[in-house]
Chain A
Amino acid sequence: MFKKIFFPILLIIACQSGYAQNSILDVGVRIQKDIGLYTENGITINYSSKKYAPDKLYVGFSYFTSRLGTAINSNAIKQDNFLLSGAWYFRQGHLIRPLLRANLGYFSSEYPAIFSALPHQSMLLSADAGVCIQTHTPLKITTSLGYNAISGKGNNDVPGTLYPFFYQFTLTWNILKPAK
């Protein structure tokens, strides 16, 4: 059943070829799993200008939080991630496009007052690599595996719930390109 529906859709998407002529503004959701810890979900916005390596160079912003993940109806720590990113998408015009991304941002976690001696915020510095299924419709599906260069080590003034490894999944829609 799944194959019957999925493959024709994929085929139609794949057949709609053509490089981007305009700037791209992808807006969507980001689902992230910190390996060994929380699921953190949120939003992501990525922009590629038609003037500078269109559809190859992307700059982006993401906000994701355990508030929309593991901390929903649980005692998990509420923590927020704000990321600015620069990404390079390879194999323009192909359905499956590898990508590399560098990220810089800010991390904050909420602790009860008696834990004021513990670090609860940090800079974020990470990189991730993955693939994007670029459908040539406004829809993009991206998944990647990443590494946080800054993570909690128990004695380094970085919050302990900032973990080194993560994978993420995003679904975005190019709001500058009307669907056909």
Chain B
Amino acid sequence: MKKALQTIIILLLVAGCKKTPAIPDAELGSGKLADPSLTNPAAYRISVSQPAPTAAQAKIPVIIACHGYSATTFEWDEFRKWSNGRSDYYIDQVLLAGHGTTYAAFAGSTWHDWQSTIKDEYNLLVKEGYQNINFVCSSTSCPLLLDMIHSGFFNTAATTVHIFMVDPIIIPSDKFLSIIGIVGPMLGYVTSDNAPGEDVYYYHYRPQETLQQLNNVLATVRGELEDGITLPKNVYLKVYKSIKDPTADPVSAVLIYKGIKTSSGNDIDVNMVNSTLHVFTRLNLVPGATDQDRQNQNNTFTDITTLLFK
């Protein structure tokens, strides 16, 4: 009995040792790949390509596109491509802190770091003179935005801030995230089931430290929603959510809908989308994307770019 106990303790200690995966050069996180927005920021960020807008340019809506946990700017590339030729709005793709570089950088980042990227870009655009700044966000960047709304970040915005959320996560589909604080230190990291080719754009190895951060931000924002969030008068929010989602449980949309009211006390707009994909607006590299998926993507991009001017 004593021996068995000793063995278990030794096994737990060994399992608790720091683990770092061996990442192939062709995968994000290896240090050999970097998000293209780091090497060519002007192609992704209007704040870099056009830092001194004219009076007319400053009035054109800017849409800051924010990706999800472990992803990169790739997640919103299709929106940029879809918008090709449109000159009535700008797209500004940000790369959240810790993302798109090395495993160590990712492991060392917190959800406050991820959020600070969004805040910094918004503040930079304001400083540069842009007057109409909006957001599209996916998955984990949605609770980051919700926390910003809750903290009053947009209360003094000069014009209406449109925030469009695609497959926001409040409740994870994989409920084992709720015990990551216990099992995480023993595991070191978790591997993801990326589709072929996705390892270039999404971290394949997810450090347990970042999963704990993810769990923390979800718990924080869930609490804020339970207490209730009222949108400032100048914030418009719409949620688009797949009815089946292997990453962000669809019930996340219920929590957001119940937890947020407009400034006049009304419900927010929610569109439940007939999709089984997570971040259904990103179809590149998705195996077996259907005509319905393409239609969902097109409908959502059309809806976003229509509502932007209302």
Contact = CB atoms under 8 A, between A and B. Distances in A.
Nearest to A148: B175
Given A112-B254, A115-B272, A154-B173, A75 B228 contact: yes
Interface in A1-40: 35-37
B226 interface: yes
Residue among B178, B219, B246, B267 with the most chain A CB within 10 A?
A: B178
B257 A115 contact: yes
Contacts of A37: 171, 178
Nearest to B226: A74
Given A75-B225, A118-B243, A160 B250 contact: yes
A161 interface: yes
Contacts of B219: 36
Contacts, number: 90
Contact of A152 (B227, B247, B249): B249
B153 to A, nearest CB: 21
Residue among B175, B219, B245, B252 with the most chain A CB within 10 A?
A: B175
B258 A77 contact: yes
Contacts of A111: 251, 254
Interface residues of B, number: 35
B308 interface: no
Given A152-B173, A153-B173, A154-B246, A75 B178 contact: no
B254 A155 contact: no
Contacts of B253: 115
A42 interface: no
A163 interface: yes
A163 B219 CA distance: 14
A164 interface: yes
A118 B179 contact: no
B23 interface: no
Nearest to A162: B175
A37 to B, nearest CB: 7
A148 B243 CA distance: 23
Nearest to B172: A154
Residue among A37, A75, A164 with the most chain B CB within 10 A?
A: A75
Contacts of B171: 37, 152, 160-161
B243 A117 contact: yes
Contacts of B245: 154-155
Contact of B174 (A114, A118, A153, A159): A153
A25 B272 CA distance: 47
B151 interface: no
A154 B176 CA distance: 13
Given A117-B272, A155-B245, A160 B252 contact: yes
B177 interface: yes
Given A36-B177, A154-B244, A161 B251 contact: yes
A163 B178 contact: yes
A77 B257 CA distance: 11
A63 to B, nearest CB: 22
Contact of B258 (A112, A118, A154, A159): A112
B179 A115 contact: no
A151 interface: yes
B228 A36 contact: no
Interface in B168-223: 171-179, 215, 219
A117 B179 CA distance: 29
Contacts of B252: 160
Contacts of B257: 112, 114-115
A70 B176 CA distance: 21
Contact of B175 (A75, A118, A152): A152
A153 B244 CA distance: 9
Contacts of B179: 35-36, 165
A76 interface: yes
Nearest to B260: A75
B244 A155 contact: yes
11 contacts: A36-B219, A77-B254, A152-B171, A154-B244, A154-B250, A155-B276, A160-B173, A160-B251, A160-B254, A161-B251, A163-B178
Interface of A: 35-37, 70, 74-77, 111-112, 114-115, 117-118, 151-155, 159-161, 163-165
